[in-house]
Amino acid sequence: MEPESAVTTCYRHPKVESHVRCTRCDRYICPDCMREAAVGHQCVECVKEGARSVRQARTVFGGRIAAVPVVTYVLIGVNVLAYLAELVRPAFVDRFEMLGRGLAGPDGGHYVWQAAHPSGYHAEGVVDGEWYRLLTGAFLHLPVTGGTFGILHIVMNMVALWNIGRVVEYQLGRVRYVTLYLLSALGGSVLVLLLAPGTPTLGASGAIFGLGAAYYVMARRLGAEMSTVNRFMAGLLLWLLISAGLTSWQGHLGGLLAGGLVTLAYAYAPRDQRRDLVQAGTCVAVLALLVVLSMAKVAELTV
């Protein structure tokens, strides 16, 4: 008599008989564990290991390519939620808008700073330790009844963010993109603090101007046809001039400068193992500069 052949089972499911081996690790696998490969089938673990060993495609700027602009969606969502919070509770604006130095009265009102303010009034804003205003103001917009623009303020900014943000996010990747956005927003607020500390400001325009600068720098780096890009930048600069009489031109200019500086590092860092270090180092340096300028201005205002 011939000996009975041994029964082979799946290495992940010992109770399931199997006669197929993984072409990579040579272990037996059942139909539930089979994954098609170029030749034969592989097990689940070998497929995962292979995926980890494959280099993910990156752009010229080092960003990982992603088909869905998740960060742009999230930023728009945060801005819209903040706007809804303003509608529900209008005091939300006074509490979180960008303000370098102002006065809060005993009646709860908000007033322009006066060095010799009456008794019962106290300073508010960044000079009073409300440092969060440097960022929170960039996520607020004029309420429906607010001044010249009203609801158009957030609509225009979100349309611009949708159009520019998706392009910039695709090229930079999510981490670089959100870093650029926040540093541009912060740069706009810091320039407001330096030049117009008593003026309350709000809006995502500073961050969007930073994205506009990034769009221009990236187009130059990629060797794109510049006529359309130049027209876009001309419109952006024209809006910067017009905004001098309508909104905070300081915030727009600050965002433009910060965003341009950060993107120059993204675009022209060496394309080797030093790239991430140069890009991250530049972002840290820009953040440090903005912090130092803010602290120096606050120290001056509190003397």
| pLDDT score for 1 | 43
pTM of the model: 0.79
Q: What is the pLDDT of residues 230-281, one digit of tens each?
A: 888 887 777 766 655 556 789 999 999 999 999 999 999 988 889 999 999 9
pLDDT at 13 over 80: yes
pLDDT at 195 over 90: yes
For range 173-187, the mean pLDDT: 96
Q: What is the pLDDT of residues 54-75, one digit of tens each?
A: 566 778 888 888 788 999 999 9
Architecture of domain 71-301: Up-down Bundle (1.20)
Residues for the chain: how many in total?
A: 303
pLDDT range class, residue 48, cuts 50, 70, 90: confident
Percent of the chain whose predicted confidence (pLDDT) is above 70: 90
**In 10 A of CB 102, how many CB atoms?**
23
Least confident of 28-37, 111-120, 148-157, 261-270: 111-120
Nearest CA-CA partner of 264 in 218, 222, 223, 224: 218
Cα(183)–Cα(284) distance, integer angstroms: 10
pLDDT range class, residue 15, cuts 50, 70, 90: confident
| pLDDT score for 2 | 44
Cα(289)–Cα(284) distance, integer angstroms: 9
Cα(102)–Cα(194) distance, integer angstroms: 14
Which amino acid, residue 188? G
Percent of the chain whose predicted confidence (pLDDT) is above 90: 41
For range 216-227, the mean pLDDT: 86
pLDDT at 210 over 90: yes
Mean pLDDT of the chain: 86
Give CA angle at 90 (209, 201), nearest 5°: 30
pLDDT at 156 over 60: yes
Least confident of 119-128, 187-196, 282-291: 119-128
pLDDT at 41 over 80: yes
Positions of CATH 1.20.1540.10 in the chain: 71-301
Dump the DSSP string for 185-209: HHHHHHHHHHH-TTS-B--SHHHHH
Dump the DSSP string for 202-246: --SHHHHHHHHHHHHHHHHHHT--HHHHHHHHHHHHHHHHHGGGT
Question: Which of the pair, 158 or 148, is modelled with greater confidence?
Answer: 158
For range 174-190, the mean pLDDT: 96
Q: What is the pLDDT of residues 129-151, one digit of tens each?
A: 999 999 999 999 888 765 556 68
